[in-house]
Amino acid sequence: MSPAGWDADGPLAALAREQGIHCLPIPTPFAVGRVNVYLIDDDPLTLVDAGPNSGIALDELERGMHALGRRVEDLGLIVVSHQHMDHLGLVDIVQRRCGADVAALDALVPWMARYGDFMEADDAFAEAVMGRHGIPPETRLALRAVAHVFRGWGAKATVTRPLRDGDDLVLRDRTLRVLHRPGHSPSDTVFHDASRRTLIAADHLIKHISSNPLIARPLDSPLDDVELARGLNRPRSLMIYMRSLLATQAMDLELVLPGHGDAFDDHAQIIDDRFRLHERRAAKLHGLVGEQPRTAYELAQALWGNVAVTQAYLTLSEVLGHMDLLVDDGRAIEVQDDSGVVRFEAC
């Protein structure tokens, strides 16, 4: 079994099935691989996430449900964990087939309803952040074109059941507490069954990889926010994410069901490991800016080489997150030149 795959024969997968939760690993076009969609055998029959907007993904979803004696048309509720297209792309198509309610975080409702408009604003914001932190124009242009193509893997959808942080999502045989855990995305939402000590975690926490805290526009920002359009006032995504991880680490959990890869039962240890990873990376970056002032893009190239070109925004988000930690700790400062490009210097 690949470390990124779902081990259907493992004891934790068996525990999930005993709880009436079935994982359907759906293919995606992205490097992360398959996305875990969860079918909860309850009343209403519930699907957590739906996979990307593609015929292949829909076929796999239908086959997976058929193997469990279910059809898409049997669904009564679709729950969305967050705004990334590999999780919500098929929501509208599936909802039109079954007429199910669609539940998502209340702050995500307008974003899902106007998916194209918000994605355009998100991409413009990302391009401005990249320019401000040293990514060359030709690379930004290429990445903008790729982002526009990728946008087709998502789609707009209408939310009929807005969820607030702390709400209870009540099914016949279980109650899922809705918990907003922003960081990987502004809308990350996890679902906690306290009686079974089970957390449906989506991409908030994954065992085999560290979830990238992508720098993204806040959900409550207007589409015409001038400061964000210039790449200013960006959220400190890693710092936000680390606060969310601390809240999750304090939970009493026996089973965590992630958005990618295998289920796990050692969430507190995994979160400790992630914090140590962030400390090591921040220390490495502090050493690099101690040698000479550098842009975030130059730092990404120093750490990852050509990957910093092909995965420029992902690596930029990683670097900026750790530089935010150093700035907040008084170990580095931002210095802007006359062209508006920011370099980091060690203190």
Q: How many CB atoms lie within 10 A of CB 250?
A: 10
Structure tokens at 334: 């931002």
How many Cβ atoms from other residues are within 10 Å of residue 168's Cβ?
11
Range in 44-48, 147-151, 158-162, 285-289 with the lowest mean pLDDT = 147-151
State both tokens at 329.
């700790």
Rounded distance between C-alpha atoms, residue 159 and residue 297, angstroms: 38
Among the residue ranges 85-89, 190-194, 218-222, the one predicted with the least confidence is 218-222
Query: Token pair of 16, please?
Result: 């999930």
Instruction: Give whole-number Cα distances, 56 to 84, 148, 232, 317, in Å.
Output: 18, 20, 39, 30
Average pLDDT, the chain: 95
Q: How far apart are CA 212 and CA 185, in angstroms?
A: 9
Between CA 38 and CA 52 the distance in angstroms is 14
Give yes or no for residue 108 having a pLDDT over 50.
Answer: yes
C-alpha dihedral (182, 91, 166, 250), degrees to nearest 10:
-50
State yes or no: pLDDT of 150 exceeds 60.
yes
Confidence of residue 2 (pLDDT cuts 50, 70, 90): very low
Confirm if 107 and 219 have CB atoms less than 8 A apart: yes
pLDDT band of residue 29 (cuts 50, 70, 90) is: very high
Pick among 3.40.50.2020, 1.10.3720.10, 3.60.15.10, 3.20.20.70: CATH of 11-278: 3.60.15.10
Residue 184's pLDDT is 97
Average pLDDT of the segment spanning 73-93 = 98
Strand, helix or coil at 112? helix
**Which amino acid appears at position 293 of this protein?**
P
Share above pLDDT 90 across residues of the chain, in percent, rounded to a whole number: 87
The C-alpha angle 53, 122, 36, rounded to 5 degrees, equals: 35
User: Between the CA atoms of 295, 301, 303 and 307, what dihedral angle is there, to the nearest 10 degrees?
Assistant: 140
How much is the pLDDT for 262? 96
Give me the residues paired with residue 192 across strands.
177, 199
The pLDDT confidence band at residue 228, using thresholds 50, 70 and 90, is confident
pLDDT at residue 4, as a whole number: 56
Encode 178-200: b = buried (16+ Cβ within 10 Å), e = exposed.
bbbbbbbbbbbbbbbbeebebbb
pLDDT-derived band of residue 226, with 50, 70 and 90 as boundaries? confident
Distances (CA, A) of 262 to 179, 258, 269: 21, 7, 16
Q: Indicate the domain borders of the chain.
A: 11-278
**Residue 3: predicted pLDDT:** 47
**Residue 67 reports pLDDT greater than 70:** yes
Give the mean pLDDT of 62-89. 98
- ∠ CA 78-84-90, nearest 5°, is 45
Q: What is the maximum alpha-carbon separation in the chain?
A: 64
pLDDT higher than threshold 80 for residue 124 = yes
| 44: preceding bond cis by omega (within 30 degrees) | yes
pLDDT confidence band for 250 (50 / 70 / 90): very high
Q: How confident is the model at residue 1, as a pLDDT?
A: 40
Least confident stretch, 209-213, 239-243, 268-272, 291-295: 209-213
Mean pLDDT, range 93-116, rounded to an integer: 98
Question: Which range among 84-98, 135-149, 159-173, 316-330 shows the weakest confidence by mean pLDDT?
Answer: 135-149
